[in-house]
């Protein structure tokens, strides 16, 4: 079962670092990173 994870937040708030960790740990996840602001 694949999961969809959406990260929403301000630019430079650490989302890309968190996204890399999630994708490395759970390669079956789809990840959407949304910048607000």
| pLDDT of 1 higher than 70 | no
| pLDDT of 37 higher than 70 | no
Tell me how far CA of residue 2 lies from CA of 5, 6, 11, 17, 35, in angstroms: 10, 13, 27, 21, 23
Q: Identify the pLDDT of residue 27.
A: 79
Residue count of the chain, please give it: 37
Q: pTM higher than 0.75, yes or no? A: no
Please give the Cα distance from 15 to 21 (Å, whole number).
Answer: 10
Q: Identify the pLDDT of residue 29.
A: 76
């Amino acid at each position: 079962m694949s999961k969809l994870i959406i990260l929403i937040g301000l630019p430079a708030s650490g989302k890309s670092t968190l996204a890399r960790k999630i994708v490395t740990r759970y390669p079956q996840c789809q990840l959407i990173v949304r910048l607000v602001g």
